[in-house]
């Protein structure tokens, strides 16, 4: 493509969205995030520059420095989605949950990029802050599409549904059509079945990210009693956690579950390395999935590095980077949609 496109990634994290753009031949100029742990994986695995900065402290001068001259400017990002999830409804509405989206639209007003993309949880679409976001884009003469994306339809081996907004000042913009039919959906086995077997707490010598958390003796007994696709309801009474015997805990059957080889994984979260945090048990090995397996299910390449060579692996830190990431393949789909759109209008 002859047109020079400049891309800036807000809330870039460890680089899932940016890496997908690179795979699609659409390099990102710079990524912004407030988490210093993102700098190494973002810059080591991508050709982009990482800037540690709060979006609330950014203005149009930051965008002008990042965008190149005489180009189609693209602003993309995934504002941290915890405020919009069911899990986070316990937080007080008095907290400034919506400021990230408000700052996003402020930068759009100031920088006036030709194209915008935002990815987030489905729950956001019915919230007033998102409706206001869309209305603001309409007033700025953007053509907008909002897509409820089933990641399985695009070759991601994960039951993950996301909201993808595309907006353009050039003309009508659409997400590319699904690339996979139901009989072509990717599975857990295709994503991680080739990796070396591990015991709970073990680490692969050739890949330090391929390590899994330790399990207590009780949780070892629980996972040995678990079958792929089953629930804790299959266990004997002495293994069931006290919280699940209460009425409030009976509606959470997926915790302490095993994945199934021939099906997609559940949504990968920041706590995906813990057996008790969801259906994150390995399909046949008596352990939770490893950090590398979680990254592969997020469609990061197997050689994607999240830490420096001599740096220790901290499960909660790396789990946060992996679980918060936009799946690389979804980033690739968004980038392909943008390049196709630009080809039609420029």
We report the CATH number of the domain holding residue 31 as 3.40.50.150
Any residues with CB less than 8 A from the CB of 106 and at least 6 apart, and which?
A: none
Closest CA relative to residue 6, chosen from 338, 332, 334: 338
76 with 118: CB under 8 angstroms?
Answer: yes
Same domain membership, residue 175 and residue 218? no
81 is catalytic: yes
CA atoms within 13 A on the CB side of 162: 31
* 82 and 206 inside one domain: no
Same-domain check for residues 74 and 46: yes
pLDDT at site 82: 54
Task: Note whether 145 and 37 are same-domain residues.
Answer: yes
Do residues 239 and 325 touch, judged by C-beta distance below 8 A? no
Tokens of 135: 């209305």
Q: What is the pLDDT of residue 68?
A: 74
Regions of the chain short of the pLDDT cut 70:
1-3, 70, 81-97, 244-254
Give residue 194's pLDDT.
97
Based on the domain organization, do 163 and 260 belong to the same domain?
no
pLDDT at 80: 75
What is the CATH number for 297? Answer: 3.90.120.10
The number of CA neighbours under 13 Å toward the Cβ of 280 is: 29
Backbone phi, then psi, for 301, in 5-degree steps? -60, 150
Contacts of 267 (CB under 8 A, 6+ apart): 158, 159, 160
- Of the residues 12, 38, 78, 81, only one is catalytic, namely 81
Residue where the block lists tokens 């679980």: 323
C-alpha triplet 32, 158, 261: angle, nearest 5°: 140
Q: Do 285 and 161 belong together in one domain?
A: no
Residue 66 has a pLDDT of 87
Read off the pTM.
Answer: 0.93
Tell me the C-alpha distance between 224 and 69, whole Å: 60
Which residues constitute the domain of residue 258? 188-323
Q: Supply the pLDDT for residue 255.
A: 80
**Residues 340 and 314 grouped into a single domain:** no
- Residue recorded with tokens 């980077």: 321
CA distance 317 to 334: 27
Alpha carbons 256 and 235: distance in angstroms, whole number:
11
**19 and 140, same domain (yes or no):** yes
Same domain for 166 and 250? no
Residues 160, 246: one domain?
no
Q: Which of 273, 176, 267 is nearest to 219 (CA)?
A: 273
Same structural domain, 43 and 162: yes
Q: Assess whether 161 and 243 both reside in one domain.
A: no
Give tens-digit pLDDT for 151-172: 999 999 999 999 999 999 999 9
CB 9 within 8 A of CB 48: yes
Residues with Cβ within 8 Å of 69's Cβ and at least 6 positions away in sequence, in order, are none
Three-class SS of the chain: CCCCEEEEEECCCCCHHHHHHHHCCCCCCEEEECCHHHHHHHHHHCCCEEEECCHHHCCHHHHHHHCCCCCEEEEEECCCCHHHCHHHHHCCCCCCCCHHHHHHHHHHHHHCCCEEEEEEEHHHHHCHHHHHHHHHHHHCCCEEEEEEEEHHHHCCCECCEEEEEEEECCCCCCCCCCCCCHHHCCCHHHHHCCCCCCCCCCEECCEEEEECCCCCHHHHHHHHCCCECCCHHHCCHHHCCHHHHCHHHCCCCCCCCECCCCCCECCCCCCCCCHHHCCCECCCCCCECCHHHHHHHCCCCCCCCCCCCCCCCCHHHHHHHHHCCCCHHHHHHHHHHHHHHHHHHC
- pLDDT of res. 93: 46
Q: How many domains does the chain have?
A: 2
């Amino acid at each position: 493509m002859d047109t020079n496109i400049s891309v800036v990634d807000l809330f870039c994290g460890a680089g899932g969205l940016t890496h997908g753009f690179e795979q699609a031949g659409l390099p990102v100029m710079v990524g912004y995030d407030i988490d210093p742990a993102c700098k190494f994986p973002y810059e080591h695995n991508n050709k982009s520059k990482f800037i540690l900065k709060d979006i609330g402290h950014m203005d149009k001068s930051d965008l002008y420095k990042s965008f190149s001259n005489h180009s189609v400017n693209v602003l993309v990002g995934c504002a941290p989605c915890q405020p919009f999830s069911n899990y986070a409804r316990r937080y007080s509405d008095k907290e400034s949950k919506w400021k990230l989206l408000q700052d996003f639209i402020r930068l759009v007003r100031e920088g006036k990029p030709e194209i915008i993309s935002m990815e987030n949880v489905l729950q956001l679409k019915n919230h007033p802050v998102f409706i206001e976001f869309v209305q603001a884009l309409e007033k700025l003469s953007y053509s907008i599409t909002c897509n409820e994306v089933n990641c399985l339809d695009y070759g991601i081996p994960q039951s993950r549904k996301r909201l993808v907004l595309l907006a353009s000042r050039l003309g009508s913009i659409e997400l590319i059509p699904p690339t996979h039919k139901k009989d072509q959906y990717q599975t857990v086995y295709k994503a991680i079945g080739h990796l070396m077997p591990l015991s709970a707490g073990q680490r692969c010598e050739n890949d330090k990210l391929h390590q899994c958390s330790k399990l207590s003796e009780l949780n070892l007994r629980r996972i040995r009693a678990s079958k792929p696709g089953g629930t804790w309801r299959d266990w004997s009474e002495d293994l069931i956690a006290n919280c699940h015997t209460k009425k409030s805990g009976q509606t959470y059957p997926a915790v302490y579950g095993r994945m199934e080889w021939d099906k997609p994984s559940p949504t990968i979260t920041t706590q995906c390395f813990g057996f008790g945090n969801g259906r994150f048990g390995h399909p046949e090995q008596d352990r939770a999935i490893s950090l590398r397996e979680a990254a592969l299910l997020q469609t990061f390449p197997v050689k994607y590095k999240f830490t420096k060579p001599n740096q220790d692996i901290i499960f909660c830190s790396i789990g946060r980077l992996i679980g918060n990431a936009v799946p690389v393949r979804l980033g690739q789909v968004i980038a392909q949609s943008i390049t196709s759109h630009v080809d039609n209008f420029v």
